[in-house]
Structure 1
Amino acid sequence: MSTISQDHAKLDSDTIADAIRLLVEVDPSIKVKSIIAEVQSRFIYTVSYRKAWLAKQKSIAKIFGNWEVSYQTLPVWLKAMTAKMPRSCVQIKTLLVYRESEEVQGVTVLHRTFWSFYPCIVAFRNCKPLVQVDGTHLYGKYKGALLVAVAQDGNQNIVPIAFGIVEGETVDMLEFFLTNLRRYVVTNDGVDIISDHHNSIDVAIARSNGAWSPPRAWHMFCIRHIGSNFLRRFKAPYLHKLLVNTRYSRTEQEYNKNYQRLQERGEVSTQWCDEIGVERWVLAFDRGHCWGHMTANLVECINFVLKGACHLPVTAIVRSTFYRLNELFTRKSVEAHESVRNGFTYSEFATKKVERLPCYHVLACCTNQHLDWQVHVHDMYKMSEICKVYRGEFVPMGDPSTWALYEGAKVIANWTLRCATKGRPKSTRYLNEMDSRDMRGPRRCTTCGREGHSRSRYPQHAGPSSTGGQL
């Protein structure tokens, strides 16, 4: 037969993990369907989805580290990183572990973590006072979300400034991330934050005690998310374009014109927009705080770049952000200094009018009248300022044997976030941090009372092919 459709017992997940090692190393986000196709083309067998998924997890563990051990090495790696770059920020929140109402000493469950490298903290001081925040799901062995905050320099380069791993995008998790972001990274006032249109981030900002509220900060909504929520609410694609045009209104007169058109097609839709507040989604009323940004595309781009990292263990995720930013800062620093030596500035290559940057017409008039055009350009767009964004250096981590000894509590995974593999029945019992395998005692048989096996593995229950029922 040229093909065999059924699974093969000898073709287990370990064999498949070794076969797809190179594929997973290049692209950790490879789809399970692609793994099934690779196995079929190589071994002429079509394996089950569950076996292919398990093989991918095992292959990732062999390349990037064991999933459970990764939680134990996370505080070790972060401590070493802060020792190399002392002014970096790391916040780890853990949960206590109990066994029969007694606290287990020396063991904690990772709840959520926040980190920002010192070069990123320095970079934001010379970027636009604009922050975009969004999250992406983790697709590894344990569920959760990776939160990312990004900024932008005067040359339209995206600069990630902070990261966080939480159990989901809920109010408490967003409050944890935004609180640390405001306290350690975005310390200046007059900033604008752009996010998706979701109630959870509104509640989290309301809990910030004014840290993310006017006049210290302004919160704007991404028009793409507003449009998505609008379509979900009204199922009217013909009004979506009009809604976007209303968002991009640069003057109050233009807004009133578009708003009237929207109102003529239904009062309910305009009432929905009024509940948001024009100052939070219309360009004409943002007072220049969003610097011409209408969407959260900057952070969406970073989420796409980190797509592969979201399939890795937690320590590998943090390491990935470290080395990717190290490469980014090194490359952009060289480019910025070369532009300064050549005497170039971003304003000379402007092709469209954005906030605080004149168009070609203004530059032409200044040249004709022998005026200094630089007085009309914000310092943010000058290459001398852009060089300051990337002046921070990432210090090499060095050999782990040279790191300081970690003396904190052992950190384990939260088994409530364990992904259920396909084909395995879901338990109806509510699990918590006490259900970790590290906290359970050894297996004990309920039939003979001995340790090392369960009742289902009791040797006396063996079939005719057993060796005799001896313990």
Structure 2
Amino acid sequence: MVRADASVCIKVLLNATVAHFGFRLTYRRVWLAKQKAVAHIYGDWNESYNELPRWVLGVQLTMPGTVAVLRTSPVRVGGQVDELQAYFHRLFWMFPPCIEAFHHCKLLVNIDGTHLYGKYGGTLLVAIAQDGNSNILPVAFALVEGENAESWSFFLSHLRQHVTPQPGLLVILDRHNSIKAALEAPDGGWLPPTAYCAFCIRHVAANFSLTYKGKDARRLLVNAAYAKTEVEFHYWFDILRSEDPAMCEWANRIEYSLWTQHRNEGQRFGHMTTNISECVNSILKGVRNLPVCSLVRTTYSRLVELFVCKGREAEAQLGTGQQFSQHLVKCIETNLKTARCFTVTLYDRDNSEFTIAETTPTGAFSLGSYRVLLSNQTCDCGHFLALHFPCPHALACCAYSRLTWQPYVHQVYCLSFVFSVYRMGFTPLIPEGFGHHTMGQ
């Protein structure tokens, strides 16, 4: 069972032993047995730490540009430092295709940590990007002792230096004090205008629920956060205030630009949460249960699979002559279906400024009016700026003036951009022991 899925939980194994052998073991005995099974399949837990530097060196020789920063702590024997031994402390690593990929992804990165379930624990820190087709892509990793200011500073400094040096980058994070401290360091390169921060609304809502119970209150807070206009935000916020003014006071202690979409000026691309859980489940499933070297090695093999699979998908779509990602095409199709009950008024000769009157299909009732500025790529509904492609109102303006809507789409949604994310492939690694065998000959 462990060979089939290293993330199989102890409860499942416990029930399996009862069903197969007819007696119930203690939770700890099954946990210990699982660690032995993992070691049998993936290598000894202790030896894995010795194997790690050798494997990293092999990757760096095979794929120049691979970054691996290993930190160790000294071993003390009787008060003296043993120069021949060292303890594993931290490791940051990333691969060249991921650096190249990030140049063609949205200018934002999600960061989060997830606990390891192996014999020695620890925490896996991950930075996650997203391409224009809504595919998530881990771009950098770190193994650390836990989530503290020093470990996050170690991860974020190398992430900024090697993977995400672009100006104006947005980083989406939880409200962990250690992350905030690392990002606010004067020399870290993560302060405005070089970089900006935004909070994951899932974490904000979870903290909110610790003080204010009830799903309805939490839902109102989340709806306010997702609102794309100030009017919509205050609609939900006023309902929340009517429930309990203290709830709004709690939310007002957090700067609006950090947790609301309407104050973010489109930097979020509509992303309100970190994607760590989705990433671990879909790409890195099971790695949290592996010995350290197997964990690092698995990130390489899983990324190889991801780049091949998503690269083929994008290439096949390009072959059909399609210009934009499937995600964008679906969104535009949905918006086009909506853009039928509008009255458009043009206000300038440059086909740039419009007003849109929205009505019911019969025209009996008005649903509101909106200003659309195509030159600024904004609409009063907020969707154009937030998502970086035309909303139904902008599409109606384009149709009215016989303009194509394609120039108003952000380049990250172009299929050529999506394909460029996965253009650089990985290199087959030299088989383990190959170099030693050759040298022996």
Q: TM-score range by the shorter chain?
A: 0.7 to 0.9
| Stretch deviating more after TM superposition (67-76 or 211-220) | 211-220
Q: Secondary structure at the match of 2:262?
A: helix
1:280 and 2:291 equivalent?
Answer: no
- Give the drift of 1:269: 2.4
Percent identity of the aligned residues?
Answer: 39
Alignment of 1:110-121 (within 5 A): 110-121=88-99
The structure whose RCO (Cα within 8 Å, separation 6+) is larger is: 1
> Structure 1 stretches of 5 or more lacking a match?
1-22, 406-471
The one-letter code of the counterpart of 2:330 is F
Residues 383-406 of structure 1 deviation map (CA, whole Å, 9 limit, x = unaligned) = 01111100111111121223489x
Among residues 126, 130, 147, which one is paired with 1:169 in the alignment? 147
Aligned partners of 1:264, 1:100: CA distance in 2, in Å? 66
- Give the drift of 1:290: 0.9
Residues 141-188 of structure 1 deviation map (CA, whole Å, 9 limit, x = unaligned) = 011111111111111111110111111112211111111111110110
- Give the drift of 1:361: 5.6
1:390 and 2:427 equivalent?
Answer: no
Q: Is the 8 A contact 2:62 2:430 kept in 1?
A: no
The equivalent residue for 2:158 is 180
Alignment of 1:37-436 (within 5 A): 37-207=15-185, 209=187, 211-296=189-274, 298-305=275-282, 306-344=284-322, 345-346=324-325, 347-350=328-331, 351=334, 355-359=387-391, 362-363=394-395, 366=398, 369-403=401-435
Residues 308-367 of structure 1 deviation map (CA, whole Å, 9 limit, x = unaligned) = 110110111111111111000011111111111111122433246561111456446545
- Give the drift of 1:227: 0.8
Q: Secondary structure at the match of 1:235?
A: coil
| Stretch deviating more after TM superposition (174-183 or 358-367) | 358-367
Q: TM-score, normalization: structure 2?
A: 0.82
Q: Secondary structure at the match of 1:327?
A: helix
Indicate the structure (1 or 2) with the bigger Cα radius of gyration: 1
Q: Secondary structure at the match of 1:131?
A: strand
Q: Secondary structure at the match of 1:290?
A: coil
Aligned partners of 2:436, 2:165: CA distance in 1, in Å? 30
Q: Is the 8 A contact 1:227 1:240 kept in 2?
A: yes
Residues 230-271 of structure 1 deviation map (CA, whole Å, 9 limit, x = unaligned) = 010233543212211221222223333433333344443222
- Give the drift of 1:90: 0.8
Q: TM-score, normalization: structure 1?
A: 0.77
Q: Is the 8 A contact 2:314 2:419 kept in 1?
A: yes
Q: Is the 8 A contact 2:58 2:430 kept in 1?
A: no
Aligned partners of 1:384, 1:29: CA distance in 2, in Å? 36
Aligned partners of 1:338, 1:364: CA distance in 2, in Å? 31
Aligned partners of 1:107, 1:248: CA distance in 2, in Å? 52
- Give the drift of 1:294: 1.1
Q: Secondary structure at the match of 2:390?
A: coil
> Structure 2 stretches of 5 or more lacking a match?
336-382
Instruction: Count matched residues.
Output: 382
Q: Is the 8 A contact 1:246 1:255 kept in 2?
A: yes
Q: Is the 8 A contact 1:80 1:403 kept in 2?
A: no
Residues 448-471 of structure 1 deviation map (CA, whole Å, 9 limit, x = unaligned) = xxxxxxxxxxxxxxxxxxxxxxxx
Q: Secondary structure at the match of 1:310?
A: helix
Q: Looking at secondary structure, tell me which structure has more strand per residue.
A: 2
